[in-house]
A and B are shown apart, each in its own frame.
Chain A
């Protein structure tokens, strides 16, 4: 077997708590399908037959009840449950399932919606015998107004600095703005080996990684690494250029002492060598190929640890971890599949004006004289007469009484909007009731229990 797929679905959605306090992030509806359906569909389309899904008990229950997942996903899902309140990072989760992992792995996050040609990433992993290959995409500016946001969103998002070589495939440098104090410092050894480096900041990490099995074994011995994205990936990128001799001078290492100790005794463990290593060496020696030119060293500068990245410049790639991303994903989701936007079981009266870019879920009831534009309506939703819905996302089981006007809002499951209400750019939480004739603009309406959680 070549690759095993691991789907990380235990994340809590910490950046969109308004949506996720009742529904776990993995089951949020995007285009009337649960979020976790998208990466599962990607893996299935490419040809995987089994996936290990790491998630919480709640999500597992919801997954087994969800018709979309039960019927449409043909792969075998091996669900591993972990504690939801435990501070388990993604690397800790990998350590947890170490027994199940027999070959190289492909780690995917549940909030990834993309139509990337996966073979591009995996080909880099295979052809160069890489230790890690990942996917990144040009960041997309979200232009839709996000409900509940007051004023322009400040770039609180820390930028990621990604350095690639001249071919754009080899990953040389990765750091987050938060870790850099005064400025970006790049080691001389990297510059000597790769004098031309392109540093990019406008990239979003798709959280899709191909990792060698040796990395998983390395993680089991180094319990200090808890997050793949936050710690493991920068560590691997740095390790490409560290000397394999006894001197362990890692200068710009801002991690704690533990790291250095680990480096010392894990140097051997991360050396990826296969059987018949001398034969492989012979083949590469006799081959007249070099990945760089201009200096006297052999291909890959003789380094065994290599990290590669595939940067997508066309196509969809969203990580649904903020509210803005969620809204955007809902808009674009219909492009990803050819199903008709209107579910056949929905009851829609003839005098309803529905735009072609709207999606209606199953068992909906849409009454006369309604107008639905650029919106997504979830399953089992009832919309009464004379309602205007524009650019909104309405989840399952919602009841909207007559004469409402809903614009640019997100209405969560089982909410009830009283008659004549006027909502602009609001977020209505789960199970909330909006009183009739209410006029709300740019508000987040959630229950009191949620307020106490924060």
Chain B
């Protein structure tokens, strides 16, 4: 290794000499040389500290030779920009895990251990078992974590509260209880202390089930509201204000947004339509029920997939209202698509590059619909818009309990001992991303926008904040 280092240092010295010569000729290259020296000094320490990027370092040197020629034209900073990756997609990095363990220990929250063999492509994500709840390691009358949050965490990990909107509403409900029971300790300010109190709760909820984008936005909003409380405000008044803010947020962003989206969507539903929906999206169900109330004549095809089989719940809700429905599994979607006139999809989050993150299987449906030239409409409230950028479903996803895939038919459970089979891994993905080419329209409470306008909405939102 040291030989390579010496070679590299030699090469850099040569380059520096070249730079000096050129600098004498061209005074305008002074700034570049500074950047070069900074970059060379930064890349020199790079090889000893990051042995993994050794190869990257050497290729960087050859690039620099090319770069020398181009340096007159470009002012590119070539030292790497270190982006902080979130912890939950770096599970295979032991340092990150150690940091997480330390942080949780400080907040007195137990660490939830991963379960089972993870497929190597997804080994950077957490995989938990439903049979090992986090409450096993907590004391029973939970003193560190507010009981409402423990209850919420349990409901998340057992799937009793599932679905983006439901999770956000339940989270805000729990926060209301936390705020009600909160008392400011002496010599502390509510605006700072309450935010600190919420941090361990959020870590706990994250351990129970990774936070959704909508929950993340709600938490950001709450934290902002709390820190904006003026210090001379009395505690009761401040608490009242916060509770009011939460109510308003839910009212505006979820309930009224649903009404607005339904209004726009109903314009797009005409009589005689055959609408395809996938899984159980609370928003899409709401739209369809509203459209039915407004006497539109349509029928629905509900597409469902294992292991969650959420479509059954959607089917129940629609049939209860009187809508005529058909039920298929996702393997039959190309069979049923010739009959379909529109596809309505719900979204878990809308990413900043226009990709739609939704339940696994959505991108399949969008793809097949595109192949059949059937319009795909995604319905999503603006509070689910997220500043993340993702182009594939591997980088950031959620792994559910692999034992959910095990099924017992006629008394036989074939996959019972899947952990003993050495090369077998069970993968239960929760989300996938759909590229914007497959989505024709996004219906939000701000109107009907194309998928590529999401960053514009985000920018406008940020200006508001």
**Residue of A117, A126, A286, A293 most packed against chain B (CB within 10 A):** A286
Which residues 144-180 in B have Cβ within 8 Å of A in the complex? 147, 150-151, 154-155, 158-163, 165-167, 169-170, 172-173, 176-177, 180
Give the size category of A's interface with B.
Answer: 20 to 34
Give which listed residue, A117, A118, A127, A286, contacts B155 with CB less than 8 A.
Answer: A127
Closest to B150 in A: A126
Contacts of B250 in A (CB 8 A): 279, 282
The CA-CA distance from A48 to B141 in the complex, in Å, is 6
Contact between A287 and B172, CB atoms less than 8 A apart: no
At the interface, yes or no: A178 with Cβ under 8 Å from chain B? Answer: no
Shortest distance between the CB of B389 and any CB in chain A (Å): 28
Bitwise interface map of A from 271 to 299 toward B, beta carbon under 8 Å scored 1, else 0: 00001100110111111111001001000
User: How distant is the Cα of A285 from the Cα of B289 in the complex, in angstroms?
Assistant: 14
In the complex, chain B residues 298-350 whose Cβ is within 8 Å of any chain A Cβ: 310, 312-314, 316, 319-320
Interface residue tally on B, bucketed by range: 35 or more
Contact B173–A276 (Cβ < 8 Å): yes
The answer to whether A289 touches B172 (Cβ under 8 A) is: no
A287 with B161: CB separation less than 8 A: yes
- Asked if B150 and A279 make an inter-chain contact with CB atoms under 8 angstroms apart, the answer reads no
Min CB distance A225 to B, Å, is 26
A286-B286 Cα distance, complex, nearest whole Å = 9
Q: B133 on the interface (CB 8 Å rule)?
A: yes
**Given the complex of chains A and B, what is the CA–CA distance between A284 and B180 in angstroms?**
22
- Give bound CA distance, A420 to B312, whole Å: 77
Interface residues as binary, A243-281 with B (CB distance below 8 Å gives 1, 0 otherwise): 000000000000000000000000000000001100110
Query: Contact partner of A279 among B136, B155, B172, CB < 8 A?
Result: B172
CA of A47 to CA of B110, assembled, Å? 14
Cα of A276 to Cα of B143 in the assembled complex, Å:
23
- Contact between B162 and A288, CB atoms less than 8 A apart: yes
Specify which of A48, A126, A290, A296 lies most central, judged by the most chain B CB atoms within 10 Å of its CB.
A126
Of the residues A2, A47, A287, contact of B163 by C-beta under 8 Å: A287
Do B150 and A286 touch (CB < 8 A)?
no
- Bound complex: CA of A129 vs CA of B160, how far in Å? 11
Q: Which single residue of chain A is at the shortest CB-CB distance from B309?
A: A293
Residues of chain B contacted by A3 (CB below 8 angstroms): 140-141
Interface residue A1 (Cβ < 8 Å from any Cβ of B): yes
Q: Does A119 contact B (CB under 8 A)?
A: yes
Among B135, B162, B169, B319, contact of A123 (Cβ-Cβ < 8 Å)? B135
CB pair B165 A286 closer than 8 Å: yes
Distance between B285 CB and nearest chain A CB, rounded to angstroms? 9
Residues of B242-301 at the interface with A, using a CB-CB cut-off of 8 Å, are: 250, 254-255, 279-280, 282
Docked-complex contact B173 and A280, CB < 8 angstroms: yes
- List of B residues within 8 angstroms of A296 by Cβ: 316, 319-320
Chain A residue with minimal CB distance to B283?
A286
Question: A119 touching B136 by the CB < 8 A rule?
Answer: yes
- The answer to whether B151 touches A126, judged by C-beta atoms less than 8 angstroms apart, is yes
> Nearest-CB distance from A277 to chain B (Å)?
10
For the complex, give the distance between the alpha carbons of A288 and B147 in Å.
24
* Identity of the chain B residue whose Cβ is nearest the Cβ of A43 in the assembled complex: B140
Q: Which of B154, B161, B320 contacts A289 (CB 8 A)?
A: B161
Known A-B contacts A47-B140, A119-B136, A276-B176; the reply to A288 vs B150 at CB < 8 A is no
| Pair B176/A123 contact, Cβ less than 8 Å | no
Q: B74 within 8 Å of A by Cβ? A: no
Q: Is the CB of A123 within 8 A of B280?
A: no
The chain B residue sitting closest to A4, CB to CB, is: B141
Docked pose: A287 CA to B209 CA in angstroms: 15
B65 CB–A CB distance under 8 Å: no
In the complex, chain A residues whose CB is within 8 Å of the CB of B170: 280, 283, 287
Q: Are B166 and A283 in contact (CB under 8 A)?
A: yes
Check A126–B154 contact: CB distance below 8 A: yes
Least CB distance from B358 to A in Å reads 13
CB contact under 8 A between A119 and B135, given known A47-B141, A288-B166, A293-B312: yes
| Option from A47, A127, A284, A286 in Cβ contact (under 8 Å) with B151 | A127
Cβ contacts under 8 Å, B408 to chain A:
none
User: Which residues of B lie under 8 Å from residue A106 when comparing CB positions?
Assistant: 140
Contact among A1, A282, A293 for B141, CB-based, below 8 A: A1
Q: Are A287 and B160 in contact (CB under 8 A)?
A: yes
B141 & A289 in contact (Cβ 8 Å cutoff): no
Q: Let me know if B314 and A288 touch, CB within 8 A.
A: yes
B142 within 8 Å of A by Cβ?
A: yes
Smallest distance from the beta carbon of A41 to chain B beta carbons, Å? 14
Report chain B residues within 8 Å CB of A47.
138-141, 143
Residue of B nearest to A210 (CB): B140
Q: Nearest Cβ distance between residue B420 and chain A, in whole angstroms? A: 21
Q: Which of A1, A123, A289, A296 has the most CB of B within 10 A?
A: A289
Is the Cβ of A2 less than 8 Å from the Cβ of B173? no
Q: How far does the Cβ of A313 sit from chain B's closest Cβ, in whole Å?
A: 14
Chain B: minimal CB distance from A440 (Å):
47
Q: Are B169 and A127 in contact (CB under 8 A)?
A: no
Taking a contact as CB atoms under 8 Å apart, the answer to whether A46 and B160 are in contact is no
- Check B176–A284 contact: CB distance below 8 A: no
Distance in Å from the Cβ of A77 to the closest Cβ of chain B? 16
Q: How far is the CA of A286 from the CA of B257 in the complex (A)?
A: 14
Q: Which residues of A contact B314 (CB under 8 A)?
A: 288
A68 at the interface (CB under 8 A from B): no
List B contacts of A285 (CB < 8 A): 166, 282
Most buried by B among A127, A282, A284, A290: A127
Question: Does A122 reach chain B (CB closer than 8 Å)?
Answer: yes
Cα separation A127 to B143 with both chains bound (whole Å): 17
Q: Does A187 contact B (CB under 8 A)?
A: no
Residues of B within 8 A of A196 (CB): none
- On whether the beta carbons of A287 and B162 are closer than 8 Å, the reply is yes
> Assuming A129-B151, A293-B312, is B161 touching A283 (CB within 8 A)?
yes
Residue on B with the closest CB to A46?
B140
In the complex, A290 Cα to B170 Cα: how many Å?
Answer: 16
Q: Is the CB of A283 within 8 A of B173?
A: yes
Q: Do B310 and A288 have beta carbons less than 8 Å apart?
A: yes
Closest to A47 in B: B139
Bound state CA distance, A426 and B151, in angstroms? 52
* A122, B140: Cβ atoms closer than 8 Å: yes
Chain B residues with Cβ below 8 Å from A118 are 140
Residues in A75-117 with C-beta less than 8 Å from chain B: 106, 117
Residues from chain A with Cβ under 8 Å of B177 in the complex: 275-276
Residues in A with CB closer than 8 Å to B169 are 279, 282-283, 286
Inter-chain CA distance A289–B316, complex, in Å, is 11
Is residue A335 within 8 Å, beta carbon to beta carbon, of the partner chain?
no
CB of A310, distance to nearest CB on chain B (Å): 13
- Residues from chain B with a CB closer than 8 A to the CB of A128 are 160
* Cα A282 to Cα B133 with chains together (Å): 25
- For the complex of A and B, the 6 pairs showing the least CB-CB separation, nearest first, are A47-B139, A288-B280, A287-B166, A286-B166, A2-B147, A283-B170
Known: A49-B141, A289-B159. 15 other contacts (CB 8 A): A2-B147, A47-B140, A48-B141, A49-B143, A106-B140, A118-B140, A119-B140, A122-B140, A126-B150, A127-B151, A276-B173, A287-B170, A288-B163, A289-B161, A293-B312
Cβ contacts A to B, 19 pairs, < 8 Å: A1-B141, A4-B141, A118-B140, A123-B133, A126-B135, A126-B151, A127-B154, A275-B180, A279-B173, A282-B250, A282-B255, A284-B166, A286-B163, A286-B166, A287-B167, A288-B310, A288-B314, A289-B161, A293-B316
